[in-house]
Amino acid sequence: MGNRVAMYNLLFESSSYTLLKLGADPKFLGARPGIISVLHTWGQNLSFHPHIHCIVSGGGENNGEWVSDKSQNQSYLFPKPIMQKIYKAVFLKNLRALLASGSLQVGETDTTKLIDEVGKKHWNVYAKRPFSGPKTVLEYLGRYTHKTAITPHRILEINEKEGTVTFKYKDYRYRGTDAEHKEMTISIDEFIRRFEQHILPFRYVRIRHFGYLQNHGRGKRLKELFEKLNLPAPPAKMRIPVYVTIREKYGIDIRVCPKCKEHHLELVATHYRSGGTISIGEKPKNKASPIEF
């Protein structure tokens, strides 16, 4: 908890390295896959459980050419046992480097003993079979990219008199059985404590892209790949108007006339004040402050 930025970064680095390393191996793919990584910090019961969800393309890019995946019968892209070994090795290697550089606050913890103990444990990588199609991918992205630690529909009761919160959760140890669905009642203070654990550090980016989806040069790279695959060009990036953002965030429609509170205001023109003159439409070459109407 005292080293969240460094440790969250370590999760991203270790998972992306594992997938890119296996992707580069001709035996498995021989190309650079596209990866969307999403950080989650919670378990179903609001416990502190940091982990990374990765969506990986079924194929990759190699010198501008598309390489299809070599898995058979819609099986896994990479073997789970190999992913587990690489991920464990690179995570512990980088963790030792962070400790050696003094980048982590560990107090009096015997880190050598701790790393030795976790190094002997079995590390699991949870992998799913490929999505059935684009719609499933979009549903998964929508579910995991903007999800919070707990959604309102899971909160069953807030009892202010007794100072408790009751919510439902899934116990994945009993996946597929009636015992999977459970309820938990905890104090309001404990509920707040658990929830606060999942507030990310200021401006921390929890959705990251790797491989051919990495940010630098992504637009040009995707355009070239789409052309070679005879696919329609990627749609232009959507820009959300300011009034929509403010309405979503604050519930205020800034287009409503502040005088009559009924009619909407529309932007007609932008005027720039420059050296005593006012130019309309085109921004002057010298610095000028805009006045919008």
In this predicted model, which residue has the larger pLDDT, 47 or 265?
Answer: 47
43 in the same domain as 12:
yes
Q: What is the per-residue pLDDT for 185?
A: 95
135 in the same domain as 93:
yes
SS (H, E, C) the chain: CCCHHHHHHHHHHHHHHHHHHHHHCCCCCCCEEEEEEEEEEECCCCCEEEEEEEEEEEEEEECCEEEECCCCCCCCCCCHHHHHHHHHHHHHHHHHHHHHCCCCCCCCCCHHHHHHHHHCCCCCCCCCCCCCCHHHHHHHHHHHHCCCCCCHHHEEEEECCCCEEEEEEECHHHCCCHHHEEEEEEEHHHHHHHHHCCCCCCCCCCEEEEECCCCCCHHHHHHHHHHHCCCCCCCCCCCCCHHHHHHHHHCCCCCECCCCCCCECCCCCEEEEECCEEEECCCCCCCCEEEEC
144 in the same domain as 12:
yes
Sign of torsion, CA 207 208 211 216? positive
141 in the same domain as 154:
no
80 in the same domain as 46:
yes
Per-residue pLDDT tens for 145-176? 777 889 889 999 999 999 999 999 998 888 88
Residues paired with residue 96 on neighbouring β-strands, in sequence order: none
216 in the same domain as 128:
yes
With a cut of 90, say whether residue 83 has pLDDT above it: yes
93 in the same domain as 28:
yes
Per-residue pLDDT tens for 218-277? 888 888 888 888 888 877 777 888 888 888 888 888 888 888 888 887 777 776 665 544
Percentage of the chain surpassing pLDDT 90? 46
Question: CA nearest 200: which of 20, 38, 68, 79?
Answer: 38
Q: What is the per-residue pLDDT for 272?
A: 64
187 in the same domain as 69:
no
193 in the same domain as 203:
no
Percentage of the chain surpassing pLDDT 70? 91
Taking every pair of C-alpha atoms in the chain, what is the biggest distance, in angstroms?
76
With a cut of 60, say whether residue 291 has pLDDT above it: no
135 in the same domain as 84:
yes
**How far are the Cα atoms of 14, 74, 85, 100, 269 from residue 93, in angstroms, in the given order?**
10, 33, 12, 11, 58
Query: Please, what is the Cα angle at 30 between 25 and 36, to 5 degrees?
Result: 90
Q: What is the per-residue pLDDT for 7?
A: 95
Q: What is the per-residue pLDDT for 293?
A: 46
Could you give the number of structural domains in the chain?
3
Among 197, 229, 258, the domain-final residue is 197
- Lowest-confidence range among 13-27, 62-76, 116-130, 260-274? 260-274
Q: Does the pTM exceed 0.75?
A: yes
288 in the same domain as 184:
no
126 in the same domain as 9:
yes
Q: What is the per-residue pLDDT for 98?
A: 94
What range does the domain containing 74 cover? 4-148+199-238
Q: CB–CB of 45/184 below 8 Å?
A: yes
